[in-house]
Structure 1
Protein backbone atom coordinates (compact mmCIF):
# COMPACT_ATOMS: atom_id res chain seq x y z
CA UNK A 1 0.00 0.00 0.00
CA UNK A 2 1.42 3.39 -0.95
CA UNK A 3 1.12 6.74 0.81
CA UNK A 4 -1.77 7.92 -1.36
CA UNK A 5 -3.72 4.72 -0.65
CA UNK A 6 -3.02 5.07 3.06
CA UNK A 7 -4.32 8.65 3.03
CA UNK A 8 -7.46 7.56 1.18
CA UNK A 9 -7.99 4.71 3.66
CA UNK A 10 -7.47 7.16 6.52
CA UNK A 11 -10.29 9.34 5.18
CA UNK A 12 -12.62 6.35 4.89
CA UNK A 13 -11.70 5.08 8.36
CA UNK A 14 -12.03 8.58 9.81
CA UNK A 15 -15.51 9.06 8.34
CA UNK A 16 -16.55 5.68 9.73
CA UNK A 17 -15.15 6.64 13.12
CA UNK A 18 -17.02 9.95 13.19
CA UNK A 19 -20.25 8.15 12.32
CA UNK A 20 -19.59 5.50 15.00
CA UNK A 21 -19.05 8.21 17.63
CA UNK A 22 -22.47 9.68 16.77
CA UNK A 23 -24.09 6.24 16.87
CA UNK A 24 -22.41 5.55 20.21
CA UNK A 25 -23.55 8.93 21.58
CA UNK A 26 -27.18 8.16 20.77
CA UNK A 27 -26.97 4.63 22.23
CA UNK A 28 -25.25 6.00 25.34
CA UNK A 29 -27.89 8.72 25.74
CA UNK A 30 -30.73 6.18 25.43
CA UNK A 31 -29.25 3.92 28.09
CA UNK A 32 -28.26 6.81 30.37
CA UNK A 33 -31.79 8.21 30.03
CA UNK A 34 -33.40 4.92 31.01
CA UNK A 35 -31.04 4.54 33.97
CA UNK A 36 -31.81 8.11 35.05
CA UNK A 37 -35.54 7.55 34.67
CA UNK A 38 -35.45 4.33 36.68
CA UNK A 39 -33.60 6.17 39.46
CA UNK A 40 -36.19 8.96 39.60
CA UNK A 41 -38.07 8.97 42.92
CA UNK A 42 -41.43 9.02 41.12
CA UNK A 43 -40.51 5.96 39.05
CA UNK A 44 -38.22 3.86 41.24
CA UNK A 45 -39.77 1.45 43.65
CA UNK A 46 -36.80 0.64 45.79
CA UNK A 47 -34.96 -1.13 43.00
CA UNK A 48 -31.29 -0.37 42.60
CA UNK A 49 -30.10 0.35 39.07
CA UNK A 50 -26.50 -0.43 38.25
CA UNK A 51 -25.24 2.24 35.93
CA UNK A 52 -22.04 3.97 34.86
CA UNK A 53 -18.76 3.79 36.72
CA UNK A 54 -18.36 7.54 36.67
CA UNK A 55 -20.18 9.58 39.25
CA UNK A 56 -20.00 13.06 37.76
CA UNK A 57 -20.10 15.05 34.54
CA UNK A 58 -16.40 15.78 35.01
CA UNK A 59 -15.55 12.08 34.89
CA UNK A 60 -17.79 11.65 31.83
CA UNK A 61 -16.01 14.55 30.19
CA UNK A 62 -12.63 12.97 30.93
CA UNK A 63 -13.79 9.67 29.42
CA UNK A 64 -15.13 11.35 26.30
CA UNK A 65 -11.89 13.23 25.80
CA UNK A 66 -10.22 9.87 25.18
CA UNK A 67 -12.52 9.34 22.17
CA UNK A 68 -11.62 12.63 20.51
CA UNK A 69 -9.59 12.52 17.31
CA UNK A 70 -7.92 15.69 16.06
CA UNK A 71 -9.28 15.36 12.52
CA UNK A 72 -12.37 13.18 12.66
CA UNK A 73 -13.97 13.79 16.07
CA UNK A 74 -12.24 16.88 17.47
CA UNK A 75 -15.09 18.19 19.59
CA UNK A 76 -16.85 15.60 21.67
CA UNK A 77 -18.70 17.84 24.10
CA UNK A 78 -19.98 16.43 27.39
CA UNK A 79 -23.09 18.63 27.25
CA UNK A 80 -24.13 17.08 23.92
CA UNK A 81 -24.09 13.66 25.56
CA UNK A 82 -25.45 14.55 28.99
CA UNK A 83 -28.15 16.93 27.78
CA UNK A 84 -29.46 14.38 25.27
CA UNK A 85 -29.82 11.80 28.05
CA UNK A 86 -31.61 14.31 30.27
CA UNK A 87 -33.95 15.29 27.43
CA UNK A 88 -34.89 11.67 26.76
CA UNK A 89 -35.25 10.89 30.46
CA UNK A 90 -37.44 13.92 31.12
CA UNK A 91 -39.80 12.70 28.38
CA UNK A 92 -39.83 9.22 29.91
CA UNK A 93 -40.53 10.59 33.40
CA UNK A 94 -43.27 12.82 32.04
CA UNK A 95 -44.93 9.90 30.27
CA UNK A 96 -44.51 7.45 33.17
CA UNK A 97 -47.67 5.84 34.51
CA UNK A 98 -47.31 3.78 37.69
Structure 2
Protein backbone atom coordinates (compact mmCIF):
# COMPACT_ATOMS: atom_id res chain seq x y z
CA UNK A 1 0.00 0.00 0.00
CA UNK A 2 1.23 3.48 -0.74
CA UNK A 3 0.65 6.72 1.20
CA UNK A 4 -2.39 7.77 -0.87
CA UNK A 5 -4.02 4.37 -0.40
CA UNK A 6 -3.35 4.44 3.34
CA UNK A 7 -4.97 7.86 3.66
CA UNK A 8 -8.00 6.67 1.69
CA UNK A 9 -8.23 3.56 3.87
CA UNK A 10 -7.97 5.74 7.00
CA UNK A 11 -10.82 7.94 5.77
CA UNK A 12 -12.95 4.87 5.03
CA UNK A 13 -12.14 3.38 8.43
CA UNK A 14 -12.97 6.69 10.13
CA UNK A 15 -16.34 6.89 8.38
CA UNK A 16 -17.09 3.29 9.38
CA UNK A 17 -16.12 4.11 12.96
CA UNK A 18 -18.51 7.06 13.11
CA UNK A 19 -21.32 4.89 11.73
CA UNK A 20 -20.57 2.05 14.15
CA UNK A 21 -20.41 4.48 17.07
CA UNK A 22 -23.86 5.77 16.16
CA UNK A 23 -25.25 2.23 16.04
CA UNK A 24 -23.55 1.43 19.32
CA UNK A 25 -25.07 4.54 20.94
CA UNK A 26 -28.55 3.49 19.79
CA UNK A 27 -28.11 -0.06 21.10
CA UNK A 28 -26.61 1.21 24.36
CA UNK A 29 -29.48 3.64 24.93
CA UNK A 30 -32.04 0.92 24.21
CA UNK A 31 -30.48 -1.51 26.69
CA UNK A 32 -29.78 1.17 29.31
CA UNK A 33 -33.39 2.34 29.07
CA UNK A 34 -34.77 -1.15 29.60
CA UNK A 35 -32.43 -1.74 32.54
CA UNK A 36 -33.50 1.59 34.07
CA UNK A 37 -37.17 0.81 33.53
CA UNK A 38 -36.89 -2.63 35.10
CA UNK A 39 -35.22 -1.07 38.16
CA UNK A 40 -38.01 1.47 38.63
CA UNK A 41 -39.96 0.75 41.82
CA UNK A 42 -43.29 0.93 39.96
CA UNK A 43 -42.11 -1.70 37.47
CA UNK A 44 -39.68 -3.91 39.39
CA UNK A 45 -40.86 -7.36 40.37
CA UNK A 46 -38.21 -7.82 43.06
CA UNK A 47 -35.64 -9.15 40.63
CA UNK A 48 -32.13 -7.78 40.55
CA UNK A 49 -31.14 -6.45 37.16
CA UNK A 50 -27.52 -6.96 36.20
CA UNK A 51 -26.56 -3.79 34.40
CA UNK A 52 -23.58 -1.52 33.74
CA UNK A 53 -20.51 -1.57 35.94
CA UNK A 54 -20.72 2.20 36.28
CA UNK A 55 -23.38 3.66 38.50
CA UNK A 56 -23.16 7.32 37.66
CA UNK A 57 -23.30 9.66 34.71
CA UNK A 58 -19.74 10.80 35.52
CA UNK A 59 -18.38 7.27 35.18
CA UNK A 60 -20.25 6.86 31.88
CA UNK A 61 -18.61 10.05 30.66
CA UNK A 62 -15.19 8.68 31.63
CA UNK A 63 -15.88 5.50 29.67
CA UNK A 64 -17.04 7.40 26.59
CA UNK A 65 -13.80 9.40 26.51
CA UNK A 66 -11.99 6.19 25.63
CA UNK A 67 -14.08 5.97 22.43
CA UNK A 68 -13.22 9.48 21.25
CA UNK A 69 -10.98 9.87 18.21
CA UNK A 70 -9.35 13.26 17.72
CA UNK A 71 -10.43 13.52 14.08
CA UNK A 72 -13.42 11.27 13.49
CA UNK A 73 -15.23 11.42 16.85
CA UNK A 74 -13.62 14.24 18.84
CA UNK A 75 -16.60 14.93 21.12
CA UNK A 76 -18.74 12.16 22.47
CA UNK A 77 -21.10 13.84 24.89
CA UNK A 78 -22.53 11.92 27.81
CA UNK A 79 -25.77 13.88 27.49
CA UNK A 80 -26.37 12.35 24.03
CA UNK A 81 -26.10 8.88 25.53
CA UNK A 82 -27.54 9.21 29.05
CA UNK A 83 -30.46 11.51 28.29
CA UNK A 84 -31.54 9.37 25.33
CA UNK A 85 -31.77 6.32 27.60
CA UNK A 86 -33.67 8.30 30.23
CA UNK A 87 -36.20 9.55 27.65
CA UNK A 88 -36.81 6.03 26.34
CA UNK A 89 -37.12 4.66 29.87
CA UNK A 90 -39.50 7.40 30.97
CA UNK A 91 -41.83 6.48 28.10
CA UNK A 92 -41.58 2.81 29.07
CA UNK A 93 -42.39 3.59 32.70
CA UNK A 94 -45.31 5.84 31.78
CA UNK A 95 -46.74 3.13 29.52
CA UNK A 96 -46.10 0.25 31.94
CA UNK A 97 -49.10 -1.91 32.75
CA UNK A 98 -48.91 -4.88 35.11
Taking structure 1 as the reference length, the TM-score comes to 0.99
- Across the aligned residues of Structure 1 and Structure 2, the Cα RMSD in angstroms comes to 0.4
CA shift, 1:55, in A, is 1.1
Could you list the structure 1 runs, at least 4 aligned residues long, displaced by more than 2 angstroms after superposition. Answer: none
Residue 28 (structure 2) aligns with: 28
Any idea what SS the aligned residue of 2:37 has?
A: helix
Unmatched segments (≥5 aa) in structure 1: none
Residue 48 (structure 2) aligns with: 48
CA distance in 1, matches of 2:93, 2:71: 38
1:1-20 to structure 2, matched below 5 A, reads: 1-20=1-20
Equivalent pairs, count? 98
CA deviation profile, 1:39-96 (whole Å, cap 9, x unmatched): 0000001111000001111110000000000111111000100000000000100110
Unmatched segments (≥5 aa) in structure 2: none
